[in-house]
């Protein structure tokens, strides 16, 4: 029963669209109707300001980290912990509060790995920030992050969470398929240019 409770909790927690809540309550904006149309931190930052984007990021990190931390605290096996982590991410992508639509899973994916593999995650996040800084493309940084995380887990010998990281990689790449097409076509929007406008 503990496992089922953790799965349900993770999915519901992951489903909470914090970007939508924050943008509506504090800015009077529906992020689904502006910018990229996404409820994630990047679009909230574009539409409402950097601070609200950071708050959205923190909330999305938390809704991934908390269920996984609880699963670890309650002594669930790595298999069940991985399922709990996936449930949180899938809740974010297929939110029960938004007609089973949602975000691109990056922040929540970072959150689930905070209690599981901090140092490989830290290295992947550094690479993500570097790529965004140099290229101006948040999408490219996100794709770099999930790819580097898989390699980081391999390098550190943390095989336990490797299947989970590969699942997360597949989800994030799938959610960024339109971004990938725009990157290939040279039409992806640059964060740096957006900030200068």
What pLDDT, on a 0 to 100 scale, did the predictor assign at position 157? 92
Supply the angle between the helices 162-175 and 78-93 in degrees, to the nearest 10.
10
Query: Do residues 108 and 14 lie in contact, with contact meaning Cβ atoms separated by under 8 Å?
Result: yes
What pLDDT, on a 0 to 100 scale, did the predictor assign at position 1? 78
**pLDDT string in tens for the chain (197-residue length):** 789 999 999 999 999 999 999 999 999 999 988 877 788 888 898 899 999 999 999 999 999 999 999 999 999 999 999 999 999 999 999 999 999 988 899 999 999 999 999 999 999 999 999 999 999 999 999 999 999 999 999 999 999 999 999 999 999 999 999 999 999 999 988 865 544 43
**Claim: this prediction has a pTM higher than 0.85:** yes
Query: Do residues 53 and 101 lie in contact, with contact meaning Cβ atoms separated by under 8 Å?
Result: no
Element (H, E) at 153: helix 138-156
What pLDDT, on a 0 to 100 scale, did the predictor assign at position 107? 94
What pLDDT, on a 0 to 100 scale, did the predictor assign at position 35? 79
What pLDDT, on a 0 to 100 scale, did the predictor assign at position 197? 38
Q: Where in the sequence is the domain holding 19, given as residue range(s)?
A: 2-196
Number of structural domains, the chain?
A: 1
What pLDDT, on a 0 to 100 scale, did the predictor assign at position 194? 47
CA–CA separation, 50 vs 186, rounded Å? 26
What pLDDT, on a 0 to 100 scale, did the predictor assign at position 192? 57
């Amino acid at each position: 029963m503990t496992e089922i409770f953790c799965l349900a909790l993770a999915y519901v927690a992951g489903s909470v669209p914090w970007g939508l809540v924050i943008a509506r309550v504090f800015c009077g904006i529906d992020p689904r109707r502006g910018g990229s149309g996404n409820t994630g931190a990047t679009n909230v930052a574009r539409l409402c300001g950097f601070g609200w984007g950071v708050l959205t990021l923190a909330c999305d990190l938390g809704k991934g980290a908390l269920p996984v931390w609880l699963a670890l605290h309650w002594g669930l096996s790595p298999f069940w912990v991985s399922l709990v982590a996936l449930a949180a991410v899938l809740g974010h992508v297929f939110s029960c509060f938004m007609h089973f639509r949602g975000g691109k899973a990056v922040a929540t994916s970072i959150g689930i790995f905070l209690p599981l593999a901090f140092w490989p995650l830290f290295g992947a996040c550094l690479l993500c920030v570097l790529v965004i800084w140099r290229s101006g493309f948040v999408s490219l940084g996100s794709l770099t992050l999930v790819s580097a995380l898989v390699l980081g887990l391999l390098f550190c010998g943390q095989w336990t969470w490797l299947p989970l990281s590969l699942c997360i990689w597949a989800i994030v790449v799938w959610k960024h398929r339109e971004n990938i097409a725009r990157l290939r076509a040279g039409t992806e929007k640059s964060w740096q240019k957006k900030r200068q406008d």
